[in-house]
Amino acid sequence: MAPRKLPRDFYAQDTLEVARALLGKLLVLRSAGLAGRTPPAMDGVTHGTTMVEGRRIGRVVETEAYVGPEDLASHAARGRRPQSGRAAIMFGAPGHAYVYSIYGLHHCLNVVTEREGYPAAVLIRAVEPMEGLSLATNGPARLCRAFGIDRRHDGLEVTGDLLFFLDDGYAADPALVCTGPRVGVAYAGEWAARPWRFWIEGNRWVSH
């Protein structure tokens, strides 16, 4: 089938459904038209010995859901003054990128879900490299480094021309889709135990 870009409505669904449905989809980053946003590593630069292409594609193999103002693992949790900080984008319209920096040296990519006014997003934790990628993509910060994604991509529509998801007809075997607790959120009390991490069992690019 001809690859089909995931439409805006896709991201307006329940967050757990989006996190599940993104498994097997293609994450695409293009350099064309990136004026003012081109990452330093993008055009004509080498990673190691491999020349980087202007288009980078990876198949999503691991995601996590962050759902609602009560979710203490979420940057948009009530009590963090989230609506005036970096996580404000999570309260906005679905289908936008939320890219945050962490530990001073890493970036992570999320996609905003559900309805405007309700803070929710899906963290892209790992992709299987398909095209134009020469660095490791098994981890949320590693994949951002491999794609050249950073804070300049924050707020971009993921239904636009720069950053988007494709359905190329590939479907993960439902029997191989696993769920479990999210990574690195032990501080979140009972919310840490929720099985809101999704991955394709056996895929070598899954981070954990």
Partner DNA sequence: ACCGTGATAATCT
Partner DNA sequence: GATTATCACGGTG
DSSP secondary structure string for all residues of 46-62: EETTEEPPSEEEEEEEE
Burial 25-63 (b: 16+ CB within 10 A, else e): bbbbbbbeebeeeebeebeeeeeeeeebeeebbbbbbbb
Is the CB of residue 95 less than 8 Å from the CB of residue 163?
no
Tell me how many residues contact DNA (CB under 7 A).
Answer: 37
Q: Fill in the per-residue mask, 138 to 177: x = in contact with DNA (CB under 7 A), - = not in contact.
A: -xxxx--------x--------------------------
List the one residue from 74, 113, 159, 203 that touches DNA (CB under 7 A).
74
Sign of CA dihedral 101, 134, 126, 122: positive
Nearer to DNA, 81 or 204 (CB): 81
Residues 88-127 that bind DNA (CB under 7 A): 90, 98, 100-106, 108, 110, 121, 123
End-to-end CA distance of the chain: 32
Q: What's the min distance (Å) between Cβ of 62 and DNA?
A: 10
List the one residue from 86, 92, 162, 166 that touches DNA (CB under 7 A).
86
Residues that bind DNA (CB under 7 A): 64, 66, 73-76, 79-81, 85-87, 90, 98, 100-106, 108, 110, 121, 123, 136, 139-142, 151, 182-185, 187, 207
